[in-house]
Structure 1
Amino acid sequence: MTEDFSGLGLSSKVTDAVAAAGYTKPTDIQAKAIPHVLDKKDIIGIAQTGTGKTASFVLPMLTRLESGRARARMPRTLILEPTRELAAQVHENFEKYGKNHRLSVALLIGGVSFEDQNKILDRGADVLIATPGRMLDQFERGRILLTGVEILVIDEADRMLDMGFVPDIERICGLLPPRRQTLFFSATMPPEIEKLTKRFLRDPVKIEVARQSSTAETITQKLIKVGSKPEEKRAALRDQIRAAENLTNAIIFCNRKRDVATLARSLERHGFSVGALHGDMDQKSRMETLDAFKTNKLTLLVASDVAARGLDIPAVSHVFNFDVPVHAEDYIHRIGRTGRAGRSGAAFTLVAPADSKHLDAIVKLIQRDIPWTESATAAPAEEPSEERRGPRRRKSDDGKAEAGKPARPARTSRRGDTRKDDERREEPRRKPDPREAAALGIDENSPFGADGPVPAFLLREVSRPR
């Protein structure tokens, strides 16, 4: 493998930008793929996120695009990504490595106005980065002509399959000129994906990078035993965050999208600087949250694997696995967010009793034991009450929250008890004193108990013979 980027055939503009970004040695996938891309070969690249595969097609594409110019509504290259975050990440790569070029790059993703995207397309885009759905929307509106595409990149093809995008990809490939170069990247090769490659690629060069099965030595890994109740896990996580040494920022991973929002709200109620990243957010909110985390306006970012896949945030000091990942490979990807570029990092995983099977799979994959550490919490702390959080925001008639107005008082019983009905039901009744029962003329084991005097009419009903 070549020792530096200068031996791969890239232009001086590209190698200068790579050097300015601080990279000197190509990764395995970059060293193998870049010469073939420059040679206009179709490629099947089997590589996971984190192997440097984005640069393996961005760098040679920049070199290829130095000659020629884009025409209105006719992009020269097309890159398809399964998620908005990955598409935005590729766009950032073009900005970083293409700073010595004067290329037009268009980003077509949901959550961004059509009007802004149309302005770039009308000027002519050298590079079009898109999610399949938004790309087809623009095509059907007549805003894009695909007859000038010279290079097609299908990235994260197995994710495309999982998300149901394969029919869209098949349709898009049918709209492109047959004499084009196709670069196809996937972490795995299920039968459906293999069928796609046979249909749309011509004599491809297959490049396979070994699956990552080890974790960086710069990462300190610890396991924390927790109970199975959500409030116990949240309490353990809060105390672990407070006790963490040298924590500047952290990504917290959940397995389920709904838990991301719940956990973020809980941490916010306890005074943490936190944002959430999940699929139900609109694109503007997602990008604002990411930017706030990258610029240290937020300390904690709660995310799912899907939302965080492909994100490049180099200076993360800690990773917390609120849930043990179901797939062992995801553990490597998660904790790999810290300890990057020679920095030290720490990864803590909360392990509930039901997680033993998934934990065993992780240990088997990374081929090393992960030490246990004592939980920093002695007992689960309760969630902040409404009183401790301050007055609730009550909704007015038009549905908008009115700040500062006190919440409607809790419904009271005749005795003035403001406790919830279910709390009162759970409290055992006091057994009446024998003398008190005798005075009232009822049996001391009466189900009425002694929480107050029994009305006379009720006594008459009880003593009436049947």
Structure 2
Amino acid sequence: MALPLALGGQDIIGQARTGTGKTYAFGVAMLQRVGKPRKNRKKPRGLVVVPTRELALQVTEDLVTAAGKLGSRILTVYGGRAYEPQIEALQQGVDVIVGTPGRLLDLVKQKHLDLSQIAMLVLDEADRMLDLGFLPDIERIIKLVPAERQTMLFSATLPGEIVALSRRYLNRPTHVRAETNDAEAEATPQTTQFVWRTHRMDKIEILGRLLQCEGRGLTMVFCETKRACDMVVEQLKERGFAAAAVHGDLGQGQREQALRAFRNGKIDVLVATDVAARGIDVDDVTHVVNYDCPQDEKAYVHRIGRTGRAGRTGVAVTFVEWEDLTRWKVINNALSLSFADPAETYSTSPHIYSDLGIPEGTRGVLPRANRSRAGLAAEEVEDLGETGRVRSRGSRRGRDEDREERRERPARAPRERRRTRGGRSAEAVQEEAVQEEAVQEEAAVTPAPLAEEAERRPAQETRSRRTRGGRVTEETPAPVEAGRIQDPVVEVVELPPVEADVAPSNDEPAPRRGRTRRTGLNPEAGLGEPVAAGSPARDDEPAPEAPRPQPEKIIPASPFTVIFQSPDLATDDDEIAPSAASERIQNRRRPQPRAQRSPRRPN
């Protein structure tokens, strides 16, 4: 119905359910009016504005198919790609441009695109462009094209904003509807719809069993958020399904890679947000699953419209959580459906198996014998010269693992740790200990008989320890002969007292300090009986030599000594400064002069 009017040059508002061929309704008329390409004509004469990049690619493919024999030059312009190939194509000349509003305005601002010769303007999925906030950009684009033009608007649903837009920018438009009854009520007559009330934690298990029903081909799963898409894809992969995600946080190359793999059959489950709910036409899509309840009736119509296209049949399943029941009732009443009270459904409910034809005993994990899909990795990512930040796919854990695999870490050099004591290294502390032992050995006196006996014995390692009485005892272990154990000999050496900084009083005597040194073994003493400190020496033992005097101990001055004290400048005659409150009280009590008093009024 719309094709004769479009060929006649009239403005049209086309409304039809998804999958009825709206693209060819305006595409054939546009190619017919543009005609064959000419060498001296480089500026475009046809312009198609679409809301999403995927829809731009879909419309371009349909127009290229329709213009196979005409040879029309068709260019796709959208964000996420490099500017250079698009600018080069514009310089060579194009006939029809299909693009998104943002990139079109960028090229116009850079003076690479001239819209002064546009003869036909088409707004595809106009209601979606209004939902995404493209109305200011659409108005700017309409002002850039000539006033004498043909304008057509196409969409499956036409809200009041579209009608108001058509009255402003269309010239006596003709409203064309593909069916006489309500298009929304009969949105998808070839699609069998199921609506179940499910629990959030059980939806992934129901989805895993649904994907194993009989006769299932390609399946599209719609989620509300981007994180939900990544979560569902990750869990489906763990269960053995070949799945991929399409949403706004992915780069354009990754989005096109997922769509190509979905069309080629390398993956059979495409999890997407509403960005893929408009205009995506893929053959053999048999099932559509609304993993999250749609926002309104328009989103529901476009989602389930991805199946049951061009006379085919399909199945649409919608999961409704308890908190979404009110929203679903609004959608149900707007579309006059018969699912006002969805059945409470779990993964073990019997009606799941009977409604969808799922074999009995099926679990939510795909058997290994049925995992025949190549997966997303089999589809190469095309280098599109993407602009901006390239976003990674998958969860945070998967991104971190991929990043660690790509990064080659150099071998770490062995770390040398050096312990310190009081800011000094261990080597310096050890050297000081050795020097201190040498000094103590020189200060010690060895008796002659014991010295001769020590010369006959092999050299032994000497140890030092400090006793509580302030005396140092040196002990040298003796070699153990066969069948005999010798006793140690302990010699007490008295050292002169160390002079203190403060002299003691006359009444109290000055303390004395001494040292105890173990010089060897005494066969006459008992086993393990040391000589007590301060005990009288034996008659057979020689008198010890006088020890060397020890240097005086230097004690630093006290760090708490008062060096300077500020003088007290205050005197007894000083008066304390009054506070602000006391000054205000004094000022009130003072009598005011007559000049400041207000004159009395006459009676």
Compute the TM-score of the two structures, normalised by the length of structure 1.
Answer: 0.69
Alpha carbons of 1:395 and 1:238: their partners in 2 closer, same or farther (altered >3 Å)? closer
CA distance 1:223–1:169, change in 2 (3 Å)? closer
Show the counterpart of 1:326.
295
Bigger Cα displacement from structure 2, 246-255 vs 182-191: 182-191
Equivalent residues of 2:37, 2:71 under 8 A apart: no
> What is the RMSD computed on CA atoms of the aligned residues?
3.2
* Aligned pair partner of 2:208 in 238, 244, 261: 238
Q: Deviations over 1:192-226 (max 9, x none)?
A: 54443333222323334542313655544334442
Displacement of 1:102 in angstroms is 0.6
Equivalent residue runs for 1:163-182 within 5 Å: 163-182=132-151
Out of 193, 209, 214, the position equivalent to 1:221 is 193
Residue 83 of structure 1 aligns with which residue? 52
Q: Provide, for residues 105-163 of structure 1, a one-character-per-residue CA deviation record: whole Å limited to 9, x for no partner.
A: 00001112212212321221110111111011111222111122111112222222222
Is the 1:90–1:129 contact (alpha carbons within 8 Å) kept by the matching residues of 2? yes
Deviations 1:168-199 (A, max 9, x none): 22222222122222222345555554443333
How far, CA to CA, are the matches of 2:229 and 2:188 in structure 1?
26
Aligned amino acid, residue 239 of structure 1: R
Verify: 1:401 aligned to 2:405, yes or no: yes
CA distance in 2, matches of 1:197, 1:248: 40
Which residue matches 1:4?
Answer: none
Residues 169 and 329 of structure 1: CA distance in aligned 2, closer, same or farther (over 3 Å): closer
Say whether residues 1:346 and 2:315 are aligned partners: yes
- Contact preservation (8 Å) 1:338, 1:346: yes
Cα pair distance change 1:344/1:355, threshold 3 Å? same
How far does the alpha carbon of each residue in 1:368-414 deviate from its partner, in whole angstroms, 9 at most, with x for none? 45985964448x989xxxxxxxxx87969x95436999xxxxxxxxx
Decide whether aligned partners of structure 1 residues 286 and 262 sit closer, same or farther in structure 2, where only a CA change above 3 A counts. Answer: same
Q: Contact 1:222–1:373 at 8 Å: present in 2 too?
A: no
Alignment of 1:120-139 (within 5 A): 120-139=89-108
Q: Which moved more, 1:323-332 or 1:209-218?
A: 209-218
Q: Tell me, in whole angstroms, the C-alpha distance in 1 between the residues paired with 2:187 and 2:145.
A: 41
Closer/same/farther in 2, CA of residues 200 and 234 from structure 1, 3 Å limit:
same
Native 8 Å contact 1:220 1:345 kept in 2: yes
Contact 1:394 1:401 in 2 (8 A): no
Higher helix residue share? 1
Query: 1:3-50 deviations in whole A, cap 9, x for unaligned?
Result: xxxxxxxxxxxxxxxxxxxxxxxxxxxx1x211211112223344544
| Structure 1 residues 62 and 261: alpha-carbon distance in aligned structure 2, compared to 1, 3 A threshold | same
> Within 2, Cα distance between the matches of 1:255 and 1:306?
10
Unaligned runs of 5+ in 1: 1-30, 383-391, 406-466
Given the superposition, is the C-alpha separation of residues 363 and 352 from structure 1 closer, same or farther in structure 2, using an over 3 Å criterion? Answer: same
When residues 119 and 163 of structure 1 are mapped into structure 2, their CA distance, relative to the original with a 3 A threshold, is same
Letter of the 1:227 counterpart: H
Hey, what's the Cα distance between the residues in 1 that align with 2:122 and 2:128? 14
CA distance in 1, matches of 2:399, 2:116: 56
Q: 1:199/1:224 Cα in 2 relative to 1: closer, same or farther (>3 Å)?
A: closer
Pairing 1:18-417 to 2, within 5 Å after superposition: 31=1, 33-47=2-16, 49-67=18-36, 69=38, 71=40, 73-187=42-156, 192-209=161-178, 210-214=182-186, 216=188, 218-228=190-200, 231-242=201-212, 244-364=213-333, 365-369=335-339, 372=343, 375-377=346-348, 400-401=404-405
Instruction: In structure 1, give the amino acid aligned to 2:186.
Output: S
- Secondary structure at 2:69's aligned position in 1? coil
* 3-state SS in 1 of match to 2:285: coil
Flag the 1:330–1:197 CA change in 2: closer, same or farther, 3 A: closer
Shift of 1:342: 4.3
Contact 1:257 1:279 in 2 (8 A): yes
Aligned CA distance change for structure 1 residues 71 and 302 (closer, same or farther; 3 Å) = farther
Question: Residue type matched to 2:222 in 1?
Answer: F
Q: Does structure 1 conserve the Cα–Cα contact (< 8 Å) formed by 2:192 and 2:316?
A: yes
How many residues are treated as equivalent by the alignment? 361
The whole-number CA distance in structure 1 between the counterparts of 2:170 and 2:47 is: 15
Structure 2: which amino acid aligns with 1:237?
Answer: L
- Cα distance in 2, alignment partners of residues 293 and 360 from structure 1: 33
Q: Distance in 1 between matches of 2:296 and 2:57?
A: 26
Measure, in 2, the Cα distance between the counterparts of 1:38 and 1:217. Answer: 30
Letter in 2 for 1:211: A
d(CA) in 2 for partners of 1:120, 1:257: 34
Partner of 1:461: none
TM-score (norm 2): 0.54
The higher-RCO structure (CA 8 Å, 6+ apart) is 1
Question: Are the counterparts in 1 of residues 18 and 305 from structure 2 also a CA contact under 8 Å?
Answer: no
Summarize deviations over 1:405-433 as a string: whole Å, max 9, x none: 9xxxxxxxxxxxxxxxxxxxxxxxxxxxx
Task: Provide closer, same or farther for how the CA distance between residues 183 and 332 of structure 1 changes in structure 2, counting only shifts above 3 A.
Answer: closer
Per-residue CA distance 1:84-120 (angstroms, 9 max, x = gap): 1111111011022222221100000111221221232
CA drift of 1:322 comes to 1.0
Following the alignment from structure 1 to structure 2, what is the Cα–Cα distance between the partners of residues 146 and 68?
17
Structure 1 or 2, whichever has the larger Rg, is 2
Alignment gaps of 5+ in structure 2: 350-362, 366-396, 410-603
Give runs of ≥4 in structure 1 deviating > 6 Å: none
Q: 1:102 to 1:68 in 2, by over 3 A?
A: closer
Mapped to 2, the partners of 1:189 and 1:394 lie a distance apart of 41
Name the amino acid aligned to 2:184: Q
8 Å contact from structure 1 (residues 75, 146) kept in 2: yes
What amino acid maps onto 1:168 in structure 2? D
Distance 2:165 2:7 in 1: 23
